């Protein structure tokens, strides 16, 4: 498989290392010096850049008939536009707020726990996430996914509220938002914690990444899975086939 890498920072290099170990070839590396370059000669593209660059990179890949795996977060307000673009070109795109296999298992565990908590009103939830200082969006896409899944399962919450900022998707007259705390420190790859606390006890589930390799491995798995498919997919589709 020939891969075009959009974004060649620490994450891009980790993806190249994993891809090469799995017998694939990186044929294009796009960074600030050749931004906007088409994925010529690639079978698939993997995109890990910035929120303000992601949709342009998606557009150029889809226009050139190259399926694209997108790991950048913070652009999801344009997901409808991207879906229309993929449908128009009969292309293929796979997006996820987190490509780690462990995190996607964590998502499933979070959804199951949230369903159980729907009938336990004496438990209150909060989400804490910690990332490296280079991560630009807060809260992380992973934390937003966790909050969204809790929101869908538990009627006594609506939206999420980043500590120190205005609540998102929450009605002031309706249920409270899910509190989210985001911390940026050192070179932490990523830690996410969901806590359900009652007056009597506390249930905590945590995913802690040790390095970028888990994210990179998941992204390469996603690219392998996407090849030959059309439409818009998520990491949950990949996980169901692993």
Q: Is the pLDDT of residue 168 over 70?
A: no
* CB contact at 8 A, 183 and 135: no
Active-site residue identified among 24, 135, 192, 233: 135
How sure is the predictor about 97, in pLDDT bands with cuts at 50, 70 and 90? confident
Considering the entire predicted model, what is its pTM?
A: 0.81
Residue 167 has what pLDDT?
58
How sure is the predictor about 166, in pLDDT bands with cuts at 50, 70 and 90? low
Q: What is the mean pLDDT of residues 75-95?
A: 96
* CB contact at 8 A, 3 and 25: yes
Residue 2 has what pLDDT?
98
Strands 160-162 and 178-184: parallel
Q: Which CATH number fits domain 2-99+213-241: 3.40.50.720, 3.30.360.10, 2.60.40.10, 1.10.10.10?
A: 3.40.50.720
* CB contact at 8 A, 220 and 19: yes
Does the annotation count 135 as an active-site position?
Answer: yes
Would you state the CATH architecture of domain 101-208? 2-Layer Sandwich (3.30)
Q: Is the dihedral angle over the CA atoms 158, 69, 220, 184 positive or is it negative?
A: negative
Residue 212 has what pLDDT?
87
For residue 206 the two structure tokens come to: 């945590």
Dmax (CA) of the chain: 60
As a whole number, the mean pLDDT across the chain is 93
Q: What is the mean pLDDT of residues 184-190?
A: 82
Does the annotation count 10 as an active-site position?
Answer: no
Residue 163 has what pLDDT?
85
Range with the lowest mean pLDDT among 28-32, 103-107, 160-164, 225-229?
160-164
Element housing 208 (H / E) = strand 202-208
For 5-39, write each residue's pLDDT tens digit.
999 998 999 999 999 999 999 999 999 999 999 99
For 126-161, write each residue's pLDDT tens digit.
999 998 777 767 788 899 999 999 999 999 999 999
How sure is the predictor about 105, in pLDDT bands with cuts at 50, 70 and 90? very high
Q: What is the mean pLDDT of residues 64-89?
A: 95
Percent of the chain at pLDDT above 70?
96
Q: Is the pLDDT of residue 113 over 90?
A: yes
The residues spanned by each domain of the chain are 2-99+213-241, 101-208
Active-site residue identified among 10, 89, 131, 221: 131
For residue 63 the two structure tokens come to: 């226009």
């Amino acid at each position: 498989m020939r891969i075009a890498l959009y974004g060649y920072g620490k994450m891009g290099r980790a993806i190249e290392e994993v891809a090469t170990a799995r017998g694939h070839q990186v044929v294009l590396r796009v960074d600030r010096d050749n931004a906007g370059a088409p994925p010529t000669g690639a079978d698939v593209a993997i995109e890990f850049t910035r929120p303000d660059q992601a949709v342009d990179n998606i557009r150029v890949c889809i226009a050139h008939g190259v399926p694209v795996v997108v790991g950048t977060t913070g652009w999801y307000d344009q997901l409808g536009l991207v879906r229309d673009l993929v449908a128009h070109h009969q292309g293929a795109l796979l997006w996820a707020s987190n490509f780690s296999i462990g995190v996607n298992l964590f998502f499933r565990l979070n959804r199951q726990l949230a369903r159980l908590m729907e009938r336990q009103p004496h438990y209150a939830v909060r989400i804490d996430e910690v990332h490296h200082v280079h991560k630009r969006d807060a809260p992380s896409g992973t934390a937003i996914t966790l909050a969204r899944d809790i929101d869908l399962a538990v009627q006594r919450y609506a939206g999420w509220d980043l500590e120190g900022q205005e609540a998102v998707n929450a009605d002031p007259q309706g249920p409270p938002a899910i509190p989210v705390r985001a911390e940026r420190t050192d070179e932490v790859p990523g830690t996410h914690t969901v806590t359900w606390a009652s007056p009597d006890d506390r249930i905590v589930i945590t995913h802690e990444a040790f390095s970028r390799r888990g994210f990179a491995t998941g992204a390469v798995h996603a690219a392998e899975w996407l090849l030959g498919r059309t439409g818009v997919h998520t990491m949950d589709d990949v996980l169901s086939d692993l």
